[in-house]
Amino acid sequence: MRLRAELSLANVVVIGAQWGDEGKGKITDLLSRSADVVVRYQGGVNAGHTIVVDDKVLKLHLIPSGILYPETICLIGSGTVVDPKVMLSELDMLIENGIDISGLQLASNAHVTMPYHRLLDQAMEQRRGDQRIGTTGRGIGPTYADKAQRNGIRIIDLLDEHRLRERLSAPLSEKNELLEKIYGVSALNPEEVIDEYLCYGKRLAPHVVECSRAIHQAARNKKNILFEGAQGTLLDLDHGTYPFVTSSNPVSGGACIGAGVGPTLIDRVIGVAKAYSTRVGEGPFPTELKGPLNDQLCDRGGEFGTTTGRRRRCGWFDGVIGRYAVEVNGLDCLAITKLDVLDELDEIKVCIAYELDGKRIEYFPSSAEEFARCKPIFKTLPGWECSTANCRQLKELPSTAMNYLRFLAELMEVPIAIVSLGASRDQTIVVEDPIHGPKRALLNS
């Protein structure tokens, strides 16, 4: 059943306001109930959403979580890079769980992750040694690199054998030479690759559409469109903690490019942030915790990557990068997730500024070297030391938990519209209509 009266949507972008893994899947799932179209606009199988439905744990990497609603169209946009093998395995998993996939659409001009992309990703990361970036090894960076070099394979190429052979001839020859001579990896058999990917094309063909046309047709028909980003703001290729970033633009502006729409089509931007911070892989992390407290947050929060299974690094909430995410995304409101993970703590710290080379700064430095030297300046707040997992309204939260949320809203200068208190769909407090509700009515004072 749709919840239009409860969650009137319009055209909305949902982004991660930290380093990814903020719980966007659950928030997107919540908002998808009132969406007509959900568009994934960037990233690839390096992303992961975990959705819990009726005690079933569904892990999705490419397919938007809106697929769980039969009336919702789910479109994988042209800004994504698609590994057909992974996508088809997700489709099979959904079918096995009795989920209707007829609403899934795939952009014809989305680029394809080929087997040589995965091999090169892994080989390059291994060669970097101590300077490794911490990629997932899924071939995302090399796929985007080929796209930028105009040497990529697109979904539409998988639908025609002659075109695929023609398009694949030069890059496969070049990549085989790289694999063998530079990285010492066995070359790929061209015929085997062509046969495999033509088979993928046949299975995907019923879902292939012209991306921009499909979205604009929905807009003309006054449909509610939800744009879903992967990863998070601090992993943005241009605006994140470079070089420890992803290969695309998770920020809200990336929705326009990755979906093929103009900015005037976007009505609101919602940011998702954990009540603390995590990041996976390498790179600076000023509020990172070590020892038992890190382990406690990791274990209570289930902080293991959906895609890689890697243990995430945990730390206190960082208000400096939070304010930065508000600015670069133009956030209208926030969804705070995993508040319940802090339930057992007697005190909670929030980073309100950094100390850089002896000076206090309140901005995110663009230099990775400077960011690595930043020391957090904390504000300590009292914890609530009781369970919030069963709270369904704000008035049921402990007063200290409410004060913590108010502090975050004031620090980031943006209202909080949604509070998540666990993995299940029902463990959510919707403070106010996160799209059209007046900001003064939200949790911001």
Contacts of 346 (CB under 8 A, 6+ apart): 382, 383, 385
- In the structure encoding, which two tokens stand for residue 433, read together? 């209509």
CA 367 to chain centre: 23
DSSP state of 270: E
Q: In what helix (H) or strand (E) does residue 86 lie, and over which residues does it extend?
A: helix 84-96
* Residue among 29, 36, 49, 236 flagged as catalytic: 49
CA dist., res. 2 & res. 132, Å (int): 45
Q: In what helix (H) or strand (E) does residue 81 lie, and over which residues does it extend?
A: strand 81-82
CA dist., res. 374 & res. 320, Å (int): 11
CA dist., res. 405 & res. 323, Å (int): 15
DSSP states of 320-340 as a string? HHHHHHHHHHT-SEEEEE-GG
Q: Nearest-CA neighbor of 175 among 133, 113, 119, 110?
A: 119
The answer to whether the beta carbons of residues 259 and 39 sit under 8 Å apart is: yes
Q: In what helix (H) or strand (E) does residue 359 lie, and over which residues does it extend?
A: strand 359-361
CA dist., res. 28 & res. 374, Å (int): 33
Rounded to the nearest 5 degrees, what angle is found at the Cα of 337, between the Cα atoms of 438 and 70? 80
DSSP state of 97: T
3-class SS of residue 389: coil
DSSP states of 40-76 as a string? E-SB-TT--EEEEETTEEEEESSS-GGGGSTT-EEEE
DSSP state of 312: P
Q: State how beta strands 277-279 and 347-356 pair.
A: unpaired
- In the structure encoding, which two tokens stand for residue 258, read together? 């990755």
Annotation says 21 is catalytic: yes
Annotation says 340 is catalytic: no
- In the structure encoding, which two tokens stand for residue 82, read together? 């698609």
The answer to whether the beta carbons of residues 11 and 252 sit under 8 Å apart is: no
DSSP state of 154: B
CA pseudo-torsion sign 174, 175, 180, 182: positive
CA 396 to chain centre: 30
Question: Could you list the active site residues?
Answer: 21, 49
